[in-house]
Structure 1
Amino acid sequence: MSIGTGILGSQLGLTGGLAASPLSSILSVASWRGVNFYMPNSREAAGRRVLQLYFPGRDDFRMQDFGQFDGPIQVRGILVGDDYVLRADRMRKALLAKGPATLIHPWWGALRCYLLQAGQIEFSEYEVRLARFEATFVRKPPASVSTGLFSGITDTLTNVLEQADALMDQCVLTMRGLLSPAVVPLALASAVNSTINVATGVWNAVTTSAPEPVQSATQTPLAALSAGIVAPADNADTTYADGVTDLLVNVPAAVAATVSTGTTAAIAPATQVADGSQTSVDPAQATALLLDGATQIGTQAQALSVKSLAPADVLVIALVARVGTVAQALATQSAVTYVSQSDAIAGRNAVTGALDDLADDLTNVIAAGADVALGDLSGAIRDARTAVVADISSRLGRLPKVIAVPVPRQISAWLIAYAVAGDTPSDVASVWDDLVSRNNLTHPALAGPGSVDVLETTT
């Protein structure tokens, strides 16, 4: 949607919409978690955390300075248009979301913030097609540089998810930077449509052989991706850019949403319904699917850029699509339960390899002369890689190793399992299951000769 047909356009039922009225020039566009709104005013507290100390028998006092007070940011926003209820519902969901996110402030710019207090959303019968809300944010504090005893104790999993969220924020900001002209050039609009067609072909191919839950979940976003998007005649706000970003990331987001968390219901497995059909997929399977899609988008977009009239723009749009896809892969990978150290290392290498590919793509975009700021995106990719390595490293010490057992002749896998876990009979079945799947044995009675990988038991 654009001004004239979007959040502040013809929704008011006025000729020409608000874009043609004096009001549009005094409203400042802001955003929280990708939901645009207008911020007529904002208030922030800043200063020092000072304690005034008095002592008996003395008329003077002493001051104890406890450091900076980077106070809360109190925001008042308005949502205008025929779809104001829908937009208010989106804002409500954005306010309910966990963790930090980027607040696009019309005066301070992009701020990494937490929602400090519950937001207040207000409707009134005296204000048609308009909703108001108030929210209080606080800036995310900078990373601690403490070297004390507790400086290394961090929630590595939460850090991975926060970095994935930061990557999604950078997707939005990068696309807004690219699609910022008031009138979108024909070559740029063509680059958008061509890259969307590439993404459509990739996801159609990738999801064809995917489990049924993935096919069902991606049906609607795939249809929207196939339909594409039309560049507006008047690109006066970020609606067009956000629409393109949504199209490119909604399919991988739908794939990530199908992931099973391993929760089991009291009556039946949580991943099944009454007729026994599967409703979710294994997180490792979803991660592999997402990384495969990201790789294919990068390969095909590189080939497309050679033939395009706007090669740098194609590379930027494809980079946003890949970053959004890898961000979803970070979320699904964080839900994987690894069996062994080698499995965890393989998972780490797959995700860090994808992040390294993003860094290479970003270098290619810069070399192509893209006219968009990419410094923050580069930093987000680097931070995400560091977070993944830290998270997997924290898990490795709690996982068993995979050992290579020499098998001089072809024997039954049961004999190998008993040899490895015979002192603990309860472990034999699990060792046998892992042995068969890990070595891709076509027949459990025919293992070897050669070296067979077996999961080490605790005993």
Structure 2
Amino acid sequence: MSGTLSTLGVSSLTNVLSGAAGGNLVTGELSRLLGTAALGGVTFDIIDSREAAGRRVARFLFPGRPVEDQKFQDFGTIDQPIRITGYLAGDDYVLRADRMRKVLLKAGRQTLVHPWWGRLKVRVLEPGEIQFSATRIRIAQFQVTLVRDPEPSATGGLLEGITDTLTNLLEQADAIVDDVTLTVQAVLAPLTIPLALSGVVGSLLSQASGFWDSLTESAPQPLQSGMTNARAVLAAGVSAPASNDDTNYADAVTAALAAVPAAAVTSITDPSDKVVAPAQQVTGDAAQTVDAGTVSTILLSAAVQLGAAADTLSNTSTVPAEILTLGVSARALIVSQLLAAWGSLSFVSGADAMVARDQFIAAIDALLSDLENAISAGCSVSLSGLWTSIQSARLALLADCSSQVGRLPRVVAMPLMATVSGWTLAYAVAGDDVTQVQDVFDDLIGRNGIGHPALVGPGSIQVLEQST
């Protein structure tokens, strides 16, 4: 299970509806009604929100007495339920709907980020309803009834109730995208964007475009083709509006930064799939494929370079905290897509999985270090939500890797006292299962870097432990 995560934030719903209606909803009247909300860490687009509030008053009327003699007893204030209709839009709308379903099933208080009321602590009062429709592709609609609840309550552990480690990892990675969307919107919230802020945004986008071009220069042709449009959007940049009275500018910046890594993950191909490739993608008799390892290497390098670029810009900028926060957001988007690529990686042994895991964990830890630097620089927006989602993704990655390691063969060291043929060693390791000889031989040669298959040893040779 793998795939790119949603990268459009608020603009996702407007883009989908615009295409379905045949009009430009972004510039229409309805676009002004759209707002970003989040429940339990899952962002969604909201159009309708209703709530009643008042006092608990008991009215007493007495028989045979005029109405003027009525009495009232005031029991204090009362908050009535908040009824919300929301939309989950994007390529990952099914995954996002599944996350929302888990939010609706969760007991206890949850955080509601409301576009008008702000951040509230709420409880799900009535069962929510999620709707899919064949006439609305890439959109899921839901209704939920909530009630305000400011009282504290206990929560379970981060890994409580996890049954599918890979799905949980993808959900946590998707939560990073949601929190990045909210973070960028908070940073780019001023009604009039200062020149210094718009300047560093342009510089960050420009530098990001440059190192993506460099990283993909020698990439496989299908990967370059799949990233062409996204790279063009990033290279074009985003112009700051004269009046910043909505989140369109912030969402455009988020989408530009997220589009390239998302396109890279989308370009991953399954070598077992038999497809007819375009002529320019064919080398000799074999069509080029894009493996998850290649994409992961590019994303890991991109995350490092983008973090360094944001740090350099902050040293010369008059708004260092803002550029560091935007750099953290951009790097987090790359890490989220990196985690999405994890599901497409295949490992021969548990040791191989742990090597890849350590590389991914290092990228997450570097991201957390950048986040701490942004806070130390005086970041004016809350990064607690983003910090929590990154930490949760880190734990989810460790959990999924542990489950894979338990199913993969171990790498063991075999001492050789003399030089032997690689084929002889492969037959000895494979034992009675001769169908595994070729795989054992290929792994033996590649893992130990053997130059001549007929001359293996003497010394310690690493081989895969066979199950039989």
Q: Which TM-score tier does this pair reach, normalised by the shorter chain?
A: 0.7 to 0.9
| 1:173 equivalent in alignment to 2:173 | no
| 1:438 equivalent in alignment to 2:438 | no
Task: State the Cα deviation string for residues 55-77 of structure 1 (Å, max 9, x = none).
Answer: xxxxxxxxxxxxxxxx9954178
Partner of 1:454: 463
Q: 1:398 to 1:411 in 2, by over 3 A?
A: same
Partner of 2:213: 204
Q: 1:41 to 1:325 in 2, by over 3 A?
A: same
**Equivalence map 1:323-342=2 (5 Å):** 323-342=332-351
Counterparts of 2:202 and 2:227 in 1: how far apart (Å)? Answer: 20
Partner of 1:358: 367
Shift of 1:334: 1.9
Counterparts of 1:324 and 1:430 in 2: how far apart (Å)? Answer: 37
Greater relative CO, 1 or 2 (CA 8 Å, sep 6+): 2
Report if aligned partners of 1:436, 1:444 keep a CA contact under 8 Å in 2: yes
Partner of 1:222: 231
Counterparts of 1:138 and 1:354 in 2: how far apart (Å)? Answer: 39
Q: 1:143 to 1:229 in 2, by over 3 A?
A: farther
Shift of 1:197: 1.5
Report if aligned partners of 1:122, 1:133 keep a CA contact under 8 Å in 2: no
Q: Which residue identity lines up with residue 75 of structure 1 in the other structure?
A: T
| 1:286 equivalent in alignment to 2:295 | yes
Report if aligned partners of 1:414, 1:432 keep a CA contact under 8 Å in 2: yes
Partner of 1:136: 143
Shift of 1:109: 4.7
| 1:29 equivalent in alignment to 2:35 | yes
Counterparts of 2:86 and 2:398 in 1: how far apart (Å)? Answer: 40
Shift of 1:316: 1.2
**Identity percentage over the alignment?**
38
Shift of 1:29: 2.5
| 1:75 equivalent in alignment to 2:85 | yes
Partner of 1:321: 330
Counterparts of 2:26 and 2:360 in 1: how far apart (Å)? Answer: 49
Shift of 1:151: 6.4
Partner of 1:344: 353
Counterparts of 1:445 and 1:236 in 2: how far apart (Å)? Answer: 72
- From 379, 387, 393, give the equivalent of 2:388: 379
Q: 1:75 to 1:162 in 2, by over 3 A?
A: same
- From 41, 47, 54, give the equivalent of 2:49: 41
Partner of 1:100: 99
- From 195, 201, 224, give the equivalent of 1:192: 201
| 1:424 equivalent in alignment to 2:423 | no
Task: State the Cα deviation string for residues 94-116 of structure 1 (Å, max 9, x = none).
Answer: 75555326985335657999984
Report if aligned partners of 1:305, 1:315 keep a CA contact under 8 Å in 2: yes
Counterparts of 1:151 and 1:31 in 2: how far apart (Å)? Answer: 25
TM-score, normalised on structure 1? 0.74
Q: 1:452 to 1:223 in 2, by over 3 A?
A: same
Counterparts of 2:178 and 2:334 in 1: how far apart (Å)? Answer: 13
Partner of 1:395: 404
Q: 1:422 to 1:121 in 2, by over 3 A?
A: closer
Q: How many residues align?
A: 392
Counterparts of 2:300 and 2:194 in 1: how far apart (Å)? Answer: 32
| 1:118 equivalent in alignment to 2:124 | no
Q: Secondary structure at the match of 1:100?
A: helix
Q: Secondary structure at the match of 2:404?
A: helix
- From 237, 245, 259, give the equivalent of 1:236: 245
Shift of 1:287: 1.7
Shift of 1:372: 1.4
Question: Can you give the 5+ residue segments of structure 1 that lack an aligned partner in the other structure?
Answer: 45-70, 78-89, 124-131
Report if aligned partners of 2:50, 2:82 keep a CA contact under 8 Å in 1: no
Shift of 1:270: 4.9
Report if aligned partners of 1:74, 1:134 keep a CA contact under 8 Å in 2: no
Task: State the Cα deviation string for residues 75-99 of structure 1 (Å, max 9, x = none).
Answer: 178xxxxxxxxxxxx9476755553
Report if aligned partners of 1:167, 1:380 keep a CA contact under 8 Å in 2: yes
Counterparts of 1:143 and 1:429 in 2: how far apart (Å)? Answer: 55
Shift of 1:407: 3.3
Counterparts of 2:135 and 2:114 in 1: how far apart (Å)? Answer: 21
Counterparts of 1:160 and 1:208 in 2: how far apart (Å)? Answer: 30
Shift of 1:28: 6.6
Q: Which residue identity lines up with residue 117 of structure 1 in the other structure?
A: I
Q: 1:145 to 1:365 in 2, by over 3 A?
A: closer
Counterparts of 1:437 and 1:322 in 2: how far apart (Å)? Answer: 33
Question: Can you give the 5+ residue segments of structure 2 that lack an aligned partner in the other structure?
Answer: 1-7, 16-22, 53-80, 104-111, 147-152
Shift of 1:134: 5.9
TM-score, normalised on structure 2? 0.72
Task: State the Cα deviation string for residues 129-160 of structure 1 (Å, max 9, x = none).
Answer: xxx99632588xx99849xxx96661111110
Counterparts of 2:411 and 2:276 in 1: how far apart (Å)? Answer: 29
- From 225, 242, 260, give the equivalent of 1:251: 260
Counterparts of 2:200 and 2:128 in 1: how far apart (Å)? Answer: 37
Counterparts of 2:330 and 2:208 in 1: how far apart (Å)? Answer: 8
Counterparts of 1:453 and 1:162 in 2: how far apart (Å)? Answer: 36
Counterparts of 1:362 and 1:247 in 2: how far apart (Å)? Answer: 21
Q: Secondary structure at the match of 2:216?
A: helix
Shift of 1:260: 3.0
Shift of 1:401: 0.6
